[in-house]
């Protein structure tokens, strides 16, 4: 069952398409990663899903509610948690007062449990909070009413590494308990670590939508070759090599062909060392964001 259905979703501001025909589903019980640098259209998608802005065309459903139907969307928001990128808490309130405010609207049956994991200084005014404490307060308010679906926009911004690990483990446990998380981020390593599927958005268009493992497998192998002598690029590089970087006798590239064919090619050169591994998500991401990447290779 899909928790989110997005169909041809478009949002234009004049001649600029912040989202341009975006389509994807988020399935129940998965962590869905939404990747793109600042300005790619991630936050626009989130604002559309929450009904904060209206689509120019296309539509989306969240928990069965059409985002264009304000009343229907309001009725399902009790089962929705949201951690925004910019936390707009009243600066004069204490952390406890902030949580009390959200509790009156949605409930807080998991507040104590969450405060044991994420411990902002509740008795201090929000205006005195560090970025990390603001983020922890935001995490508590997003989950404390025990929603089945949570949207998180840059969720680890400001958190120290230990708190990041704690959050990653927590949302994995939530997923295992049947909850669904929409995880929007430009931090590639954490998306690779915690997400089941990923959508990559580029200039408002969705350019990839796959399971993490399938995306890694389809994107070839990452190869490092150290040669005894400086390499002649015209002799060494083949059509199956992309994103080739050559520095003297060291070559780094992504190989999209068969491994056996690569090995047969490399034996023609005096290699000191060869390392072949699976590409990391950041390598794939940069490939999708290269201006000169042919459409058929994206």
User: 241, 226 in Cβ contact below 8 A?
Assistant: no
The reply to whether 194 and 180 lie within a common domain is: yes
pTM value is: 0.79
Q: What is the CATH number of the domain that holds 274?
A: 3.30.70
- Whether residue 293 is contained in a domain is answered as no
The reply to whether 104 and 60 lie within a common domain is: yes
The reply to whether 206 and 234 lie within a common domain is: no
- Whether residue 206 is contained in a domain is answered as yes
The reply to whether 13 and 125 lie within a common domain is: yes
Angle made by CA atoms 168, 171, 176, in degrees to the nearest 5: 125
Residue ranges of E strands in the chain: 2-13, 16-27, 31-35, 57-62, 65-66, 80-83, 149-153, 180-185, 197-202, 205-211, 221-227, 241-247, 250-255, 271-277
246/231: higher pLDDT: 246
Q: Which two tokens stand for residue 62?
A: 């969240």
The predicted-structure confidence for 164-173, as pLDDT tens digits, reads as follows 999 999 999 9
- Whether residue 147 is contained in a domain is answered as yes
The residue with tokens 């589903």 is 25
Q: What is the CATH number of the domain that holds 155?
A: 3.40.50.300
User: 57, 20 in Cβ contact below 8 A?
Assistant: no
β-bridge mates for residue 242, sequence order: 254
Closest CA to 73 of 170, 4, 26: 4
Determine the structural domain holding residue 198 and report its residue range. 2-214
The predicted-structure confidence for 59-105, as pLDDT tens digits, reads as follows 999 999 999 999 999 999 889 999 999 888 999 999 999 999 999 99
Quote the pLDDT of residue 219: 66
Question: Average pLDDT, stretch 18-27?
Answer: 96
The predicted-structure confidence for 194-220, as pLDDT tens digits, reads as follows 999 999 898 899 988 988 877 766 667
The reply to whether 146 and 240 lie within a common domain is: no
103-114: burial string, b at 16+ Cβ within 10 Å, e else: eeebebeebeeb
Angle made by CA atoms 56, 60, 65, in degrees to the nearest 5: 125
């Amino acid at each position: 069952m899909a928790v989110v259905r997005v169909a041809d979703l478009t949002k234009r501001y004049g001649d600029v398409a912040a989202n341009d025909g975006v389509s994807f589903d988020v399935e129940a019980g998965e962590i869905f990663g939404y990747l793109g640098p600042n300005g790619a259209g991630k936050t626009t998608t989130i604002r559309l899903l929450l009904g904060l802005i209206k689509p120019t065309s296309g539509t989306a459903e969240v928990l069965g509610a059409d985002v264009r139907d304000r009343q229907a969307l309001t009725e399902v928001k009790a089962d929705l948690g949201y951690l925004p990128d910019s936390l707009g808490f009243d600066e004069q309130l204490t952390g406890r007062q902030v949580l009390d405010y959200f509790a009156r609207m949605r409930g807080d049956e998991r507040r104590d449990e969450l405060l044991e994991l994420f411990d902002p200084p509740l008795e201090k005014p929000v205006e005195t909070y560090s970025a990390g404490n603001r983020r922890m307060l935001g995490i508590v308010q997003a989950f404390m009413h025990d929603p089945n679906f949570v949207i998180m926009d840059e969720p680890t911004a400001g958190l120290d590494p230990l708190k990041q690990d704690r959050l990653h483990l927590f949302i994995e446990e939530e997923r295992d308990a049947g909850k669904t998380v929409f995880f929007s981020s430009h931090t590639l390593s954490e998306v690779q670590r915690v997400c089941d599927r990923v959508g990559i958005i580029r200039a408002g268009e969705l350019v990839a939508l796959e399971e993490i493992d399938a995306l890694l497998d389809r994107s070839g192998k990452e190869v490092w070759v150290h040669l005894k002598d400086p390499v002649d690029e015209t002799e060494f590089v083949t059509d199956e090599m992309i994103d080739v970087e050559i520095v003297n006798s060291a070559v780094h590239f992504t190989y999209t062909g068969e491994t056996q064919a690569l090995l047969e090619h490399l034996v023609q050169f005096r290699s000191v060392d060869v390392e072949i591994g699976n590409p990391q998500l950041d390598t794939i991401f940069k490939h999708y964001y290269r201006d000169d990447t042919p459409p058929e290779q994206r």
